[in-house]
A and B are shown apart, each in its own frame.
Chain A
Amino acid sequence: DAGVIQSPRHEVTEMGQEVTLRCKPISGHNSLFWYRQTMMRGLELLIYFNNNVPIDDSGMPEDRFSAKMPNASFSTLKIQPSEPRDSAVYFCASSRGFGELFFGEGSRLTVL
């Protein structure tokens, strides 16, 4: 079975550019999570969806960040405009509930 699929794996962009990260959750999972990981702040929950509905986006740093889940098999995290402090590894994870999250391999973002 395919796991959580994220793209791109690596992204290098310049400050001010738009960045779109993509995620395909495991089929049958009804919850999807976006996390950001840095050395300084660890693994931070940005937003999560249950049944394609955003439940809590209080972790989204500011209005430059937005996330969508138009259907059960796809989600995007967009940063516009990007800033150097957004450099991090962004993880998408999915779950059937009960606390076991399955993580994608992550998207490493570098904003110059």
Chain B
Amino acid sequence: QKEVEQNSGPLSVPEGAIASLNCTYSDRGSQSFFWYRQYSGKSPELIMSIYSNGDKEDGRFTAQLNKASQYVSLLIRDSQPSDSATYLCAVMKGNNNDMRFGAGTRLTVKP
């Protein structure tokens, strides 16, 4: 079993719709969870972090965490073509900065 699993997609949504990205992780002791965005040919950049169960909102982005289900999700409201990218779920194991990434979900927002 992979440590961090994501649906590779591609996920295609129309402009203005909500895009929903999902991630599961295997290490129940994980404490910190992140979403990174990677444009084609570029390096990953952090867009959201979440540490406790529930929802965390930042502009059009909402991260959701359910530790009991070992599940993390990212919602993008009012999707824009500029949101088209690969979204990487990342999980920090313990407190020693060990950061593992999922394979990423490729999102395409069509005008």
Any A CB within 8 A of the CB of B101: yes
Q: Could you tell me the dominant secondary structure of chain B's interface residues?
A: strand
Total A-B residue contacts, Cβ distance less than 8 Å: 59
B104 is contacted by which of A42, A56, A97, A99 (Cβ under 8 Å)?
A42
Q: What residues of B have a CB within 8 angstroms of the CB of A56 in the complex?
A: 98
Of residues 77 to 111 in B, which have CB atoms within 8 Å of A's CB atoms?
88, 90, 92, 96-104
B98 is contacted by which of A42, A48, A98, A104 (Cβ under 8 Å)?
A48
Shortest A33–chain B CB gap in Å is 7
CA distance A48 to B100 in the complex (A): 11
Interface centre among A55, A97, A103 (most CB of B within 10 A): A103
> Are B43's CB and A99's CB within 8 A?
no
Given A91-B43, A100-B46, A104-B43: A55 and B104 interface contact (C-beta under 8 Å): no
> Are A55's CB and B96's CB within 8 A?
yes
In the complex, what residue of chain B is closest to A92 when comparing beta carbons?
B43
22 of the cross-chain contacts (CB-CB < 8 Å) are A42-B88, A42-B101, A42-B102, A43-B88, A45-B99, A45-B100, A45-B101, A48-B98, A55-B97, A56-B98, A95-B99, A98-B32, A99-B32, A99-B46, A99-B49, A99-B90, A99-B97, A100-B34, A101-B99, A103-B43, A103-B44, A103-B45
Instruction: Give residues in B with beta carbon < 8 Å to A.
Output: 32, 34, 36, 42-46, 49, 88, 90, 92, 96-104
